[in-house]
Amino acid sequence: MRLSQILISTLRDDPADAEIPSHRLLARAGFIVKIAAGVYTFAPLMWRVVKKFAEIVRQELDREGANEVMLPIIQPKELWVASGRWDRYVTDGIMFTLKDRKGSEMCLGPTHEEVMTTFVNAQVNSYKQLPVNCYQIQDKFRDEIRPRFGLMRGREFIMMDAYSFDCDVPALDVAYQKMRNAYCRIFERCGVAYTVVQADSGAIGGAGSEEFMVIADSGEDSILFCRESGYAANVEKAVSKLPAAPAGGEPKALEKHSTPDVRTVAQLEAFFPGWEASRMAKTVLYHVTWKAKTKVVAVMMRGDLEINEVKLANSLDAMTVRMATDDEIKAATGAETGFAGPVGLRDDVPLLADESLQGSTNLLTGCNEGGFHCLNVNLGRDCRMPSFKELRMARKGEGCPVSGKPLEQARGIEVGHIFKLGIKYSKAMGATFMDQAGKPVPFVMGCYGIGVSRTPAAAVEQSFDDKGIVWPASIAPFECVVAVLDNKRDEQNVLAEKLYAELRAAGVDVCLDDRPMSPGAKFKDHELMGMPVQVFVGRKAPEGGVEFLVRKGMQKSECAASEVKAKVLAVLGR
RNA sequence: CGGGGCGUGGCUCAGCUUGGUAGAGCGUUGCGUUCGGGACGCAAAGGUCGGAGGUUCAAAUCCUCUCGCCCCGACCA
C-alpha cells in the first residue's frame, strides 16, 4: 500500500478528552475518531490492526475446531425473556432496546448466549453431533454506565464470542481447556504480556471462569497473585489465608458501654484501649435486590477486614447489593449509622457473618442503640447465630491460599474471559439433545469472549513511549514502512520503489510512504504511528544507502539497500 | 444515577472575574523559496462562542433551563 492513498490524519496536539496512553495515542495518530461517548470510527490504519488481530483469533480458534458464524445483532425480546435475563438487563439499563413498527420489543445484542443457544438447539438433535463450538466476531452494544478510555470501554465494541455445546461436564472441561489453550496462543501471538486469573462469573452466570488480563497501570481491574505458586485471581474472586487475630478466650459476661459519637472501628480502637480491630465485629447494613424483592441485610465482618460485595451478592444469589443509606439503617436497626450490631437486631433483618468470625468469642460489636456498644459479645448467646459465609475481600500482603507467601497486587485490563456455563441457559431455554438412552438432555455449555477492539488498545497501553505507539509486529497496521524523504528526487523514488517491491515479494507487510511531506514530518509521523520497522530513503540514495530504524528501542542505523531485506526479515523474526 | 470539571474556526487553547463590534498557535488553500527532525516568507479562507429562554441600550462574558463531553464511584470484552 502507498500511504498517499490511505486516509491518514495525525494530530500535532494531544486530544483534550483523552486520558490514558492508548486513548491519547490512538486518537492523536488518527487511528480512532470519536463520534459519541464510547462510540468510535476506526480509521483505515486502525481497521488494519483490528483485522490482523481478528485473523489471529480466527486462526487459533479454527485450529481447535471452532466454527465461525455470524449471528444477528438485532434480537427479539422473547429470547431474553426465555433465558430470564430481559428484566435484569433492562433494569440495569445496560441494554439498548428498540421497538419495530409493529411495536414488538427488540434489543441490540450485548451478548449472544440466547441467539446461539437457539441456533444450535435447532441444528443439533443428537449427542452424535456433539461437541459443537461456534464463534463470531461482531459489534456488541452495551449502554455502559460509564464509557471511558477510548476503546477500553465502549458502548459499541468489537468482540469475539464463542459458545461450546457438550453432552456432559467432562466434555465441557475438554472444550474449555481447548479454548483456554487457544486464548494463550492468541495473546502470545499478538505480543502482549498477560496473566490468567480466576474470576467471578458475574452477570453471565455459571460455574467457573477465568479472565485473561493484560497487566497495565491503567487497568480497571485489580488482581492478586503469587509468584511462588502461580495463584492469580481478580480481587472480586480472590481468597487469602486469614490473617491471625488474638483469641477471645472463654466467654465472659456481656457488657454494654456508653460510646457517644464513637462509630467507626478506628474510633472504637481509640475508645477502648487494648481492643484491637481484629477482636471487633463490624455490622454493615446492605440493601439487597433480588428479582422480585428487596431487603435490608446485616453483614458482620471482623473489624480489620473488608467486605467483598461481589461475594456477598453471590452468597445471597442477589441481583445487586449496595450499602444501605442512613435512613434505611435507621429504619432497619432503630439506631443511627455507626451503632448497628447483632445484639438486639430485629428478627426480620437477616444476619450474615464472614467465616472469619466463626468460633470467635467475646467480641466488641454495636447493639442497635445510638451511643452504645457491647463488649464480650458471643454469637448465638447474646444474639442470633448468624449464617456464616466467605465474604471477605482478600488483600495484598495476606497469605497466598496455595503457598502462604504474601500476595502481590497489580492492575489489569480484561481482554478475554472464559466461562463454564453448565446448563444455565440450555435448561432455561429448553435447548436439549437426545442422549444415548434416547432421553432429551440439556446442552452443557461454555462461553468465551475476547475484546477484539480492546486488545489492540491494551497492547498500546503496554507498548508505547514518549514518541508514540510501539506496535507489536503481529498486529501493527504494517510491519514495515519504506519512506521517501524527498520525493522530488528521482533516485530516492526509484530506490524506495525497488525496496518496496522487494520486501513485498519477500512476504513482508510493507507500505511505501510516498506522501509529499518534509522529512521531519515523516519521522514524527512514523514514530507516532508506531510502525515496527522503518526504512528511510534519503540523501544517501545515490550511493545506495538507506537508514534503518527499529521502532522498539529506537535503534537507528545506516545500511546498504542490498541489506535491507535481510535486516527487515531478521527484525520480524523470519 | 451521585460527586467534580469542561463546551469559543478542523485541532489545542486565550478572552468570561470587572458585559462594549471574536483572538493566538497548529492545520487548511494559493504563490514562491526549501527538502534529514513536525521548514520559511507573503497572501487567503474558515467561528449564529453547544442549544433555548431571560436580564440589559448592549451578552462568548451575568441569570435560568437544556443538550453534549471528560474525570472519580456501582458495570464488563
Residue A82 pLDDT greater than 90, yes or no: yes
In a domain, A400, yes or no: no
Which grid coordinates are listed for A325? 443509606
Closest CA to A140 of A43, A74, A90, A212: A74
In a domain, A399, yes or no: no
Distance A424 CA to B75 C1' (A): 21
In a domain, A511, yes or no: yes
Q: Say if residue A299 is in the same domain as residue A382.
A: yes
Distance A36 CA to B68 C1' (A): 9
- Region A206-210: what's the mean pLDDT? 80
> Which pLDDT score, from 0 to 100, does residue A289 have?
83
Q: Say if residue A431 is in the same domain as residue A535.
A: no
In a domain, A473, yes or no: no
Q: Say if residue A312 is in the same domain as residue A453.
A: no
- Region A195-221: what's the mean pLDDT? 84
Domain of A53 in residue numbering reads as 3-238+409-460
Which grid coordinates are listed for A526? 512514523
pLDDT above 90: percentage of residues in chain A = 81
Residue A205 pLDDT greater than 60, yes or no: no
Which grid coordinates are listed for A322? 449496595
> Which pLDDT score, from 0 to 100, does residue A422 have?
93
Distance between CA atoms of A550 and A568, rounded to whole angstroms? Answer: 9
Protein-covered nucleotides on strand B (Cβ within 7 A): 1, 11-13, 25-27, 34-39, 68-77
Local confidence band at A200 (pLDDT 50, 70, 90 cut-offs): confident
Buried b (16+ CB within 10 A) or exposed e, A156-187: bbbbbbbbbbbbeeebbeebbebbbebbebbb
Residue A464 pLDDT greater than 90, yes or no: yes
Residues 405-424 of A with CB under 7 A from strand B: 414-417
Q: Which of A329, A357, A389 is the last residue of a domain?
A: A389
Domain count, chain A: 3
> Which pLDDT score, from 0 to 100, does residue A21 have?
95
Q: Which nucleotide is nearest to A156 (CA to C1')?
A: B77
Distance between CA atoms of A549 and A470, rounded to whole angstroms? Answer: 12
Residue A202's CATH number: 3.30.930.10
Q: Say if residue A441 is in the same domain as residue A513.
A: no
Q: Say if residue A151 is in the same domain as residue A123.
A: yes
In a domain, A154, yes or no: yes
DSSP assignment letter at A153? B
Which grid coordinates are listed for A430? 429448553
Q: Which nucleotide is nearest to A158 (CA to C1')?
A: B77
Say if CB A146 and CB A116 are below 8 A apart: no
> Which pLDDT score, from 0 to 100, does residue A202 have?
65
> Which pLDDT score, from 0 to 100, does residue A317 have?
84
In a domain, A247, yes or no: no
Mean pLDDT value across chain A = 93
Q: Is the CB of A465 within 7 Å of strand B?
A: no
Strand, helix or coil for residue A175:
helix
Distance A252 CA to B46 C1' (A): 84
Q: Say if residue A483 is in the same domain as residue A561.
A: yes
Q: Where do the DSSP E strands lie in A344-472?
A: 351-354, 363-366, 372-377, 387-389, 408-422, 432-434, 440-442, 444-451, 464-465, 468-469
Residue A419 pLDDT greater than 90, yes or no: yes
> Which pLDDT score, from 0 to 100, does residue A4 have?
94
- Region A38-47: what's the mean pLDDT? 96
| Sheet of strand A74-76, all strands in order from the earlier edge strand to the far edge | A74-76, A105-108, A97-99
Residues 294-353 of A with CB under 7 A from strand B: 309-310, 320, 322
Q: Say if residue A215 is in the same domain as residue A280.
A: no
Q: Say if residue A507 is in the same domain as residue A546.
A: yes
Residue A350's CATH number: 3.90.960.10
Closest CA to A163 of A192, A213, A204, A196: A204
Q: Say if residue A273 is in the same domain as residue A231.
A: no
Local confidence band at A203 (pLDDT 50, 70, 90 cut-offs): low
Which grid coordinates are listed for A488? 522530488
Which ipTM score applies to this complex? Answer: 0.94
pLDDT tens readout for residues A334-351: 888 888 999 989 998 999
Residue that wins the pLDDT comparison between A207 and A302? A302
In a domain, A450, yes or no: yes
Residue A359 pLDDT greater than 80, yes or no: yes
Residues sharing a CB contact under 8 Å with residue A269, sequence separation 6 or more, in sequence order:
A275, A276, A277, A280
Q: Say if residue A146 is in the same domain as residue A49.
A: yes
Say if CB A360 and CB A318 are below 8 A apart: no
Q: Is the CB of A38 within 7 Å of strand B?
A: yes
Residue A497's CATH number: 3.40.50.800
Q: Say if residue A455 is in the same domain as residue A502.
A: no
- Region A95-108: what's the mean pLDDT? 93
Element (H, E) at A395: none
In a domain, A394, yes or no: no
Residue that wins the pLDDT comparison between A551 and A294? A551
Residue with cell 444415548: A436
Q: Say if residue A264 is in the same domain as residue A234.
A: no
